[in-house]
């Protein structure tokens, strides 16, 4: 079947109360931990915040209780993460593990991995890096060259991953490696592995980004030997698994809300009676925001039903990240604030927040797959390619 669908999901009962609970928790946590709001999920790393959130049962929310989860629905989880992002909470530490690595291990990991790792993720103490991109493999993920070769009792990994966010402060990476011939589709012979980032032969080196921050890394694997049970899922099934992981990575509210703090600043600066052109711009952004939110929520509903809405997720990310940029452009046109470089996005002044966001903005359409690549997925889904 070709095409796409965004069926509005029925929200489970109690989500309004849950929303209020999260808001109260955030107000207390902000006072206790002193964080400053920044709605980009990739801005602030706080192990203390992640642990507090884990203690409230808001990490690994949908996982079985026997693995430290809370058996809530994907839509309840949506409400929680939407509130966290809208409030600008420092969610970066647990973000990847909660969003995609944990669900991947739940589906394809060994029983021992589920029992030992998932409860630590849910407690907010175990963090993951994504090992997909390589120096010559970004958009063309099927061309990865990091190799995993069988040894007598496990695997030996050699190769280089790049742009690996947070590898310097995470315990594990899930790496996509070549384990066999690529085949005609180029999607065969790929497998995913759980790699301990402290293992012998792993070298993690910083790559400082445009804003002067160290989030990215280059990770070199030189004869890294891992046990046989670190293969995730089936040997050769890596492409199918990674595609599922990307649907989780692309569709969430973090693809719409990265600049929400500036949207709030724009509305505040406009005041109760904005001049007509500004009122029109804010109205248009608000309408777009509501439409995108409905689409992103629909994808959460589809994931809840066990579907794999790859095309819908790609549409949300393409449109959502363009919307995030539009918010910044509208603010820059409307408010006489010059971006100041060298601050952080959650700095107290609008100028500093704007400066940090302007420097981060180009990355929003790149991380998780570029918009050109997303459009080719959409075109294939529509049957026009």
Ligand X SMILES: Cc1cc2nc3c(=O)[nH]c(=O)nc-3n(C[C@H](O)[C@H](O)[C@H](O)COP(=O)(O)OP(=O)(O)OC[C@H]3O[C@@H](n4cnc5c(N)ncnc54)[C@H](O)[C@@H]3O)c2cc1C
* Active-site annotation, residues: 249
Question: How many residues make contact with ligand X (CB under 6 A)?
Answer: 18
Cβ at position 331, least distance to ligand X in Å: 21
- Cβ within 8 Å of residue 259, ≥6 positions away: 39, 40, 324, 325, 327, 328, 357, 361
Which C-beta is closer to ligand X: that of 325 or that of 334?
325
Report the site for ligand X in 352-371 (rule: CB under 6 A). Answer: 363, 366-367, 369-370
Binding mask 142-181 for ligand X (x = CB under 6 A): ---------------------xxx----------------
Which one among 133, 241, 259, 344 touches ligand X, defined by CB under 6 A? Answer: 133
Nearer to ligand X, 72 or 178 (CB): 178
DSSP string, 142-196: GG---EEEE-SSEEEEEEEE-S-TTGGG-SEEEEEEE-S--TTTS-SSEEEEEEE
Q: For the chain, where are the alpha helices, taking DSSP H only?
A: 15-33, 47-55, 74-87, 92-96, 102-108, 111-122, 238-250, 260-270, 276-304, 310-334, 350-364, 371-381
CB of 9 to ligand X, least distance (A): 28
How many other CB atoms sit within 10 Å of the CB of residue 313?
28
Cα–Cα distance for residue pair 146/41, rounded to 1 Å: 28
Give the residue, chosen from 64, 372, 379, 382, that forms a contact with ligand X under the rule CB under 6 A: 372
Residue nearer to ligand X on the CB measure, 46 or 137: 137
Q: Interacting stretch for ligand X, rule CB under 6 A, among 66-74, 111-119, 129-137, 218-226?
A: 129-137
Q: Which of 105, 130, 231, 248 binds ligand X (CB under 6 A)?
A: 130
In the complex with ligand X, the residue whose CB is nearer, 36 or 168, is 168
CA distance linking residue 102 with residue 245, whole number of Å = 10
43 is an interface residue for ligand X by CB under 6 A: no
Binding residue (CB under 6 A) for ligand X from 52, 56, 125, 138 = 138
Kindly tell me which of 207 and 228 has the beta carbon lying closer to ligand X.
Answer: 207
Name the site residues for ligand X (rule: CB under 6 A).
Answer: 129-133, 138-139, 163-165, 363, 366-367, 369-370, 372-373, 376
């Amino acid at each position: 079947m070709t095409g796409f669908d965004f069926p509005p999901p029925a929200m489970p009962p109690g989500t309004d109360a849950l929303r209020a609970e999260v808001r109260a928790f955030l107000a207390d946590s902000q006072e206790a931990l002193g964080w400053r709001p920044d709605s980009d999920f990739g801005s602030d790393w706080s192990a203390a915040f992640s642990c507090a959130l884990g203690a409230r049962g808001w990490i690994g929310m949908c996982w079985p209780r026997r693995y430290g989860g809370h058996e809530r629905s994907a839509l309840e989880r949506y409400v929680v993460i939407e509130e966290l992002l809208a409030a600008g909470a420092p969610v970066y530490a647990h973000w990847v593990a909660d969003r995609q690595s944990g669900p991947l291990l739940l589906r394809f990991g060994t029983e021992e991995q589920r029992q030992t790792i998932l409860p630590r993720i849910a407690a907010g103490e175990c963090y993951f890096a994504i090992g997909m991109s390589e120096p010559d493999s970004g958009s063309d993920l099927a061309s990865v060259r990091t190799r995993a070769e069988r040894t007598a009792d496990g695997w030996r990994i050699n190769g280089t991953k790049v742009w690996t966010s947070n590898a310097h402060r995470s315990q594990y990476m899930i790496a996509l490696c070549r384990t066999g011939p690529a085949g005609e589709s180029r999607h065969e012979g790929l497998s995913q592995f759980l790699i301990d980032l402290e293992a012998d032969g792993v070298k993690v080196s910083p790559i400082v980004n445009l804003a002067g921050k160290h989030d990215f890394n280059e990770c070199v694997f030189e004869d890294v030997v891992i046990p046989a049970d670190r293969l995730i899922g089936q040997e050769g099934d890596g492409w199918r698994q990674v595609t599922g992981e990307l649907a989780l990575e692309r569709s969430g509210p973090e693809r719409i809300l990265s600049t929400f703090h500036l949207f709030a600043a724009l509305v505040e600066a406009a005041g109760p009676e904005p001049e007509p052109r500004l009122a029109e711009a804010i109205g248009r952004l608000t309408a777009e925001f509501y439409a995108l939110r409905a689409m992103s929520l629909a994808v959460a509903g589809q994931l809840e039903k066990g579907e794999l809405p790859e095309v819908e997720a790609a549409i949300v990310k393409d449109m959502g990240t363009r919307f995030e940029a539009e918010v910044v452009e509208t603010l820059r046109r409307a408010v006489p604030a010059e971006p100041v470089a060298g601050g952080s996005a959650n700095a107290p002044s609008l100028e500093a927040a704007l400066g940090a966001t302007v420097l981060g903005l180009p990355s929003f359409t790149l991380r998780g797959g570029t918009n050109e690549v997303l459009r080719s997925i959409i075109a294939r889904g529509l049957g026009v390619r």
